[in-house]
Amino acid sequence: MKGISDEVISVEEAKAALRCMRLGGFDESEALESIDSLVGRIRKLGTAKLVDDIIETDLSENQRIFVQEYWFSGKSTAQIARERGMSQANVYRTLTRANETITELLTPLVRYHRDLPDVQVAPLFFAEIMGVCSARRNKGENIGEQLKSIRLSRAATPEQTARALCITEKQLGKIEGSVAEPTLELLEKYSAVFSVRFNFEFVNGRRKCEWKEL
């Protein structure tokens, strides 16, 4: 594991990490592992916010629309082309240019963080950041999808989330997959862990839930 001392972290990152250590009661080895993980999550969330700004201010109108439809609405290039009356090749070129612009503007941040080899925004990292941006926009239709969006919008893994909620990853998977309903007690834990507030109402006899950040 690359030690936290090998990274340059901000004051806010350090404060958050130290608070996590105090609340968790970790030993030194566990604390270092936890801080490395926490710093990684903080940086992903910060990068996602920067990507949101880039999409709004640095892309052309078509690039912005195609990025939103492809990354955030889950449409294929063929579907976008069909709905827009354009060739799929044109849609693909526009998306490629948009991705290149986002990557170019992210590179200085990656260089500073030194988290990726060869100072490149790896495709997997790029897709993960776009996933965080998407989860912040699409809060889900049912409670399972909404809880998954909360987790993804915080760049938290299933393992991290299950541990924080004191449940198994299998239980978490059933809840996020809408196979099992979360209890009110579990939703209270979600509220505490992710700093969100749930609002419930019944529509046609079915419970509907919405969430917002505190």
What is the per-residue pLDDT across 60-77, written as a single tens digit (0 to 9) for each?
999 999 999 999 998 999
Q: What is the pLDDT of residue 205?
A: 63
Q: What is the pLDDT of residue 173?
A: 93
pTM to 2 decimals? 0.70
DSSP 8-class letter at 58: T
Rounded distance between C-alpha atoms, residue 51 and residue 15, angstroms: 24
Query: At 114, which amino acid appears?
Result: R
Average pLDDT over residues 181-210: 80
Structure token pair of residue 125 = 């990292």
Distances (CA, A) of 192 to 31, 130, 136, 164, 186: 21, 25, 18, 10, 10
Task: Say which residue the tokens 């969006």 belong to.
Answer: 149
Contact predicate 49/109, CB 8 Å:
no
Q: What is the pLDDT of residue 28?
A: 58
Mean of pLDDT over the chain: 80
Model confidence band, residue 40 (pLDDT cutoffs 50, 70, 90): confident
Average pLDDT over residues 123-150: 85
Average pLDDT over residues 39-49: 82
Model confidence band, residue 121 (pLDDT cutoffs 50, 70, 90): low
Average pLDDT over residues 91-112: 86
Model confidence band, residue 207 (pLDDT cutoffs 50, 70, 90): low
Rounded distance between C-alpha atoms, residue 204 and residue 91, angstroms: 41
Does the structure show a pLDDT above 70 at 134?
A: yes
Model confidence band, residue 113 (pLDDT cutoffs 50, 70, 90): low
Radius of gyration of the chain from its Cα atoms, rounded to whole angstroms: 19
Lowest mean pLDDT among 23-32, 139-148, 198-207: 23-32
Q: What is the pLDDT of residue 137?
A: 84
Domains and CATH numbers, the chain: 139-214 (1.10.260.40)
Contact predicate 43/65, CB 8 Å:
no
Rounded distance between C-alpha atoms, residue 130 and residue 137, angstroms: 11
